[in-house]
Chain A
Amino acid sequence: MIIELGHFLLALALSLSIFQFLVPAVGVKFNYHSMMKSTSIISYMSFILVLFSFLSLVYAYITSDFSVSLVAKNSHSLKPLLYKISGVWGNHEGSLLLWVLILTFYSVAVAILGRRLPLKLLSLVLSCQGLIAVAFISFILFTSNPFVRIFFPNAEGEGFNPILQDFGLAIHPPFLYLGYVGLSVTFSFSIAALLVGKVDTIWVKWVRPWTLIAWVFLTIGIALGSWWAYRELGWGGWWFWDPVENASFMPWLVATALLHSSIVAEKRDTLKAWTILLAIIAFSFCLLGTFIVRSGVLVSVHAFASDPSRGLYILLLLVFFTGGGLVLFAKRAPYLKSGSLFKPLSREGALVINNIIFASAAATVLLGTLYPIFIDAINNSKVSVGPPYFEAVFIPLMVPAILLCAFSPMLSWKRAIIDNIIERIIAVFICSLFLASLIIIIHGGSASAFLGLFLAFWLICGTLYEFLIKVGVKSSFKTFIQRALNLPRSAYGMSVAHIGVAIFIIGVTVSGAWRIDIEKPIILGEKIIVKDIELTFKNIKKVEGPNWNADRGEFEIITSNGAKHFLYPERRFYPASQVNTSEPAIMSGIFSDLYIVLGESLQEEDSFAFRIYYSPFISWIWFGILLMAVGGILSLSDRKHRLGYGLKQV
């Protein structure tokens, strides 16, 4: 009964969304203020309906109602509660419902926080959000309905892809979607701006925080996904350049470019058409990501649910929104007033280069991801593009971006004089060269390790130096503290995010260059020494979990300082889905991770295939990404970015 109610509420939400699209559009066209004003209320109602519809599905999962087809296929009565709930979005239909829930939530946020926006602009934004909701709700109702019943329910349910049964992954989709859908808001703002034909300061002041919100969520979402891949896939790797990973990475790259271009648009009133274009492209990449993940046009280890007929619908959505946005852009952009001019050597110039680099990076990832499709179309042969391509193309692109990142905040707006900063650049250069060489001389390492370390130190030194200059190096301690406290939070945000990038680079470089891999059979009782850590294979036994049984190995670890730890790598078998998974045991530390994977049992008694990875500094990768997100949050908390700030006067 409750599930039918949920179904009905979603259908009702569809009709409300049609109103949310039409009412403000008609209102703007004929200048009916009452119609424009009523849009907010429609968006509240639509959100409440979708929320209850979503909750009804959650209820079906919690109570394990296997007469609902989706629950029967993706859940199991023995599953822990957390994974029953996360099972709601662990599949195509439910994840789309979550998508729509977040979309309507953002519409409500825009409606509430945007009360002081010009009514016409707000109405157009909500109208556009309404249209996106119409498209996605009808996609759910007509092609991927989560509320379908089956007539002969199974008592247990068919389970759930066990590899997805992980805490990191349970909360990964909501974060990713909060990011993806957040970009729909900037998209709607861009469309509204193009329709109004005016991009003013108010508009930019609004787009900046929304981009930040989406970017922060996207960053955390990607970090969670990568963290999951590291812990679950059992290869000790953290990024695989898989189409599905790229699908979330491309919007991130474009959103990063958008973040930086909107600074220029806000501070210098220029690059406005470009910012609008980036906002359209960023959302298009989100739709494209959905298309790649859901249509099965590309092979991916993550393709859990794909269906070509749905692919066609998503392609039509993509054509409609992106195509429509770009047509509007092509018609209106030339008439937008171009802003103030600047010299190539200036903060604006540096940010433009940042944008070019990030846009090209997104384009290279797109090319690599779609290359199999192009080649298949051109000469009918199958290829797959793997990490070597991406590493060869992506890393060289990012090097100039990092070089630029350290000193572009030192450049002044409009026109910078190189003589003023050349000394600082040389100081930073010598300092980072010295530090990187020191580490390479002590530990030995390849040229690429040196380059990575140099870039990281360059960025850290440059960012710290710039920060010190801002608060004044030569001033007394008291004024130093005073000025540090008075700095806007967005300045801290930038510094923290850039330091985060540096820490990320350190993690990537060090874990790649000094990683130790051991793959060999180990006999019970055998002792192995990795670096300065002693491992002893103590025991192996059978254990039972809630919906799996497993072989669990026991390792005694003695670290160089004599501390004793135990690690328990498992090889699990899920009878419900007849799947084997390996649960690596990981000893995570600040400076190194020890990663043990239990493989198959071998011919001789008591001998098992093991893979052991020693990865120094690998946790710095996620710590760095987290710092970037913290930087974004700091920047978001800045007074002048608070939504609606400074609009009273207008």
Chain B
Amino acid sequence: MKNKLKYFYSYTPLIVFLILVLFFARQLILKEDPSELPSVLIDEKFPSIILSELEGYKVFSNKNLINANGPSLVNIWSSWCVPCKVEHEYLMSMSNNDNIIIYGINYKDNKAEALKVLDLNGNPFYAIGADQDGMQSINLGVYGVPETFIIDRDGNIRYRHVGPILEYDMEKIILPIINKIKQERL
């Protein structure tokens, strides 16, 4: 009897290990990207934030998002952020070709530098607000630039995109969500 028990116990490490392997295999097979960060703000109202003016551009405020005619994007960017420069081209394309309204939040930036970038590369933004010390963007849970939020007609956040929007992201992620929002209530 005692020996039988001993025999059984000696299998426990193996059993524990096999259970672990099941979890690993699931994680691997699903191939989910663990770095994807869903926002806690999804389906919540865009938080109220107060931004300052960037000379020569309309100021972005929460009012823009209320009673909007269609979906819009809020893009957080900076002149010192290299991925933002890469992303800029696609923002321009969405603004010009797809007629999407994009609002910009200029994050922890030097205003002169920011203006220089817009002069040089074009302005994809309908309105821009500057968040110089980054305090306002805390409400959005921003932890790095660039980040982009998709906002629906009612001013609710529908999607959060972390990192630059590249061609793939634009075609396969951002535009489909925008189109879906457009078709709601039509």
* Smallest Cβ-Cβ distance to A280: which chain B residue: B13
Residue from B7, B13, B110 within 8 A of A334 (CB atoms): B7
Judge whether B1 is part of the interface by a CB distance below 8 angstroms: no
Q: Which of A74-82, A153-161, A367-375, A642-650 interfaces with chain B?
A: A367-375
Residue from A291, A333, A601 within 8 A of B10 (CB atoms): A333
Judge whether B183 is part of the interface by a CB distance below 8 angstroms: no
Residue from A277, A284, A578 within 8 A of B82 (CB atoms): A578
A-side contacts of B3, CB under 8 Å: 334
Judge whether A481 is part of the interface by a CB distance below 8 angstroms: no
Q: Is the CB of B28 within 8 A of A311?
A: yes
Judge whether A618 is part of the interface by a CB distance below 8 angstroms: no
Q: Is the CB of A370 within 8 A of B20?
A: yes
Assembled-state Cα–Cα distance A498/B103 (Å): 60
List A residues 548-599 near B (Cβ within 8 Å): 578
Q: Is the CB of A326 within 8 A of B31?
A: no
Judge whether A5 is part of the interface by a CB distance below 8 angstroms: no
Chain A nearest CB: distance from B55 CB in Å? Answer: 14
Q: Is the CB of B27 within 8 A of A376?
A: yes
Chain B nearest CB: distance from A235 CB in Å? Answer: 15
Assembled-state Cα–Cα distance A376/B27 (Å): 8
Q: Is the CB of A298 within 8 A of B34?
A: yes
Q: Which of A315, A323, A334 has the most CB of B within 10 A?
A: A334
Q: Is the CB of A318 within 8 A of B21?
A: yes
Q: Is the CB of B27 within 8 A of A329?
A: no
Interface residue SS majority, chain B: helix
List B residues 1-50 near A (Cβ within 8 Å): 3, 6-7, 10-11, 13-14, 17-18, 20-21, 23-28, 31-32, 34-38
B-side contacts of A377, CB under 8 Å: 23, 26-27
Q: Is the CB of B38 within 8 A of A382?
A: yes
Q: Which of B17, B36, B82, B132 has the most CB of A within 10 A?
A: B17
Q: Is the CB of B24 within 8 A of A297?
A: yes
Judge whether A600 is part of the interface by a CB distance below 8 angstroms: yes
Chain B nearest CB: distance from A351 CB in Å? Answer: 20
B-side contacts of A319, CB under 8 Å: 21
Q: Is the CB of B14 within 8 A of A329?
A: yes
* Smallest Cβ-Cβ distance to B29: which chain A residue: A312
Judge whether A69 is part of the interface by a CB distance below 8 angstroms: no
With an 8 Å Cβ cutoff, the count of chain B residues facing the other chain is 29
Judge whether A327 is part of the interface by a CB distance below 8 angstroms: yes
Known: A323-B18, A334-B3. A600 touches B108 (CB 8 A): yes
Interface string of B89-106 (1 = CB under 8 A from A): 000000000000000000
Judge whether A118 is part of the interface by a CB distance below 8 angstroms: no
Known: A323-B17, A327-B14, A329-B13. A603 touches B34 (CB 8 A): no
Known: A281-B13, A329-B13. A308 touches B31 (CB 8 A): yes
A-side contacts of B25, CB under 8 Å: 315
Known: A299-B34, A308-B31, A334-B6. A374 touches B14 (CB 8 A): no
Assembled-state Cα–Cα distance A87/B80 (Å): 29
Chain B nearest CB: distance from A247 CB in Å? Answer: 13
Residue from B23, B36, B110 within 8 A of A603 (CB atoms): B110
Assembled-state Cα–Cα distance A376/B34 (Å): 10
Q: Is the CB of A329 within 8 A of B23?
A: no
Residue from A312, A326, A600 within 8 A of B80 (CB atoms): A600
Judge whether A226 is part of the interface by a CB distance below 8 angstroms: no
Q: Is the CB of A330 within 8 A of B34?
A: no
Known: A284-B17, A372-B34. A330 touches B10 (CB 8 A): yes
Q: Is the CB of A322 within 8 A of B28?
A: no
B-side contacts of A295, CB under 8 Å: 28
Interface string of A304-325 (1 = CB under 8 A from B): 0000100110010011001100
Residue from A299, A330, A333, A373 within 8 A of B24 (CB atoms): A373
Known: A284-B17, A377-B23. A308 touches B10 (CB 8 A): no
B-side contacts of A312, CB under 8 Å: 28
Chain B nearest CB: distance from A199 CB in Å? Answer: 14
B-side contacts of A298, CB under 8 Å: 34
Q: Is the CB of B23 within 8 A of A374?
A: yes
Q: Is the CB of B28 within 8 A of A326?
A: no
Q: Is the CB of A296 within 8 A of B7?
A: no
Q: Is the CB of B35 within 8 A of A370?
A: no
With an 8 Å Cβ cutoff, the count of chain A residues facing the other chain is 37
Assembled-state Cα–Cα distance A284/B21 (Å): 12
A-side contacts of B82, CB under 8 Å: 578
Q: Is the CB of B28 within 8 A of A299?
A: no
Q: Is the CB of A326 within 8 A of B108?
A: no
* Smallest Cβ-Cβ distance to B14: which chain A residue: A326
Interface string of B105-123 (1 = CB under 8 A from A): 0001010000000000000
Q: Is the CB of B10 within 8 A of A315?
A: no
* Smallest Cβ-Cβ distance to B4: which chain A residue: A334
Q: Is the CB of B24 within 8 A of A315?
A: yes
Q: Is the CB of A296 within 8 A of B34?
A: yes
Chain A nearest CB: distance from B28 CB in Å? Answer: 5
* Smallest Cβ-Cβ distance to A292: which chain B residue: B24
Q: Is the CB of B27 within 8 A of A299?
A: no
Interface string of A279-302 (1 = CB under 8 A from B): 011001000000100011111000
Chain B nearest CB: distance from A256 CB in Å? Answer: 19
Chain B nearest CB: distance from A311 CB in Å? Answer: 5
Assembled-state Cα–Cα distance A155/B152 (Å): 48
Q: Is the CB of A329 within 8 A of B10?
A: yes
Q: Is the CB of A330 within 8 A of B14?
A: yes
B-side contacts of A273, CB under 8 Å: 10
Assembled-state Cα–Cα distance A297/B27 (Å): 6
Q: Is the CB of A277 within 8 A of B13?
A: yes
A-side contacts of B18, CB under 8 Å: 323
Assembled-state Cα–Cα distance A312/B31 (Å): 11
Assembled-state Cα–Cα distance A299/B7 (Å): 39
B-side contacts of A323, CB under 8 Å: 14, 17-18, 21
Q: Is the CB of B17 within 8 A of A297?
A: no
Chain B nearest CB: distance from A382 CB in Å? Answer: 7
* Smallest Cβ-Cβ distance to A579: which chain B residue: B82
B-side contacts of A372, CB under 8 Å: 34
Chain B nearest CB: distance from A51 CB in Å? Answer: 33
Known: A299-B35, A329-B14, A330-B14. A603 touches B132 (CB 8 A): yes
Residue from B10, B14, B23, B35 within 8 A of A373 (CB atoms): B23
A-side contacts of B38, CB under 8 Å: 382
* Smallest Cβ-Cβ distance to B37: which chain A residue: A382
* Smallest Cβ-Cβ distance to A602: which chain B residue: B110
Residue from B6, B11, B21, B34 within 8 A of A315 (CB atoms): B21
B residues engaging A (CB < 8 A)? 3, 6-7, 10-11, 13-14, 17-18, 20-21, 23-28, 31-32, 34-38, 80, 82, 108, 110, 132
A residues engaging B (CB < 8 A)? 273, 277, 280-281, 284, 291, 295-299, 308, 311-312, 315, 318-319, 322-323, 326-327, 329-331, 333-334, 370, 372-374, 376-377, 382, 578, 600-601, 603
Query: Which 4 pairs across A and B sit closest by C-beta, in order of nearness?
Result: A326-B14, A330-B11, A330-B10, A333-B10
Q: What are 30 residue pairs bridging A and B, where the CB atoms are less than 8 Å apart in the complex?
A: A280-B13, A291-B24, A295-B28, A297-B27, A297-B34, A308-B28, A308-B31, A318-B21, A319-B21, A322-B17, A323-B17, A329-B10, A329-B13, A329-B14, A330-B11, A334-B3, A334-B6, A334-B7, A370-B20, A373-B23, A373-B24, A376-B32, A376-B34, A377-B23, A377-B26, A377-B27, A382-B38, A578-B82, A600-B108, A603-B110
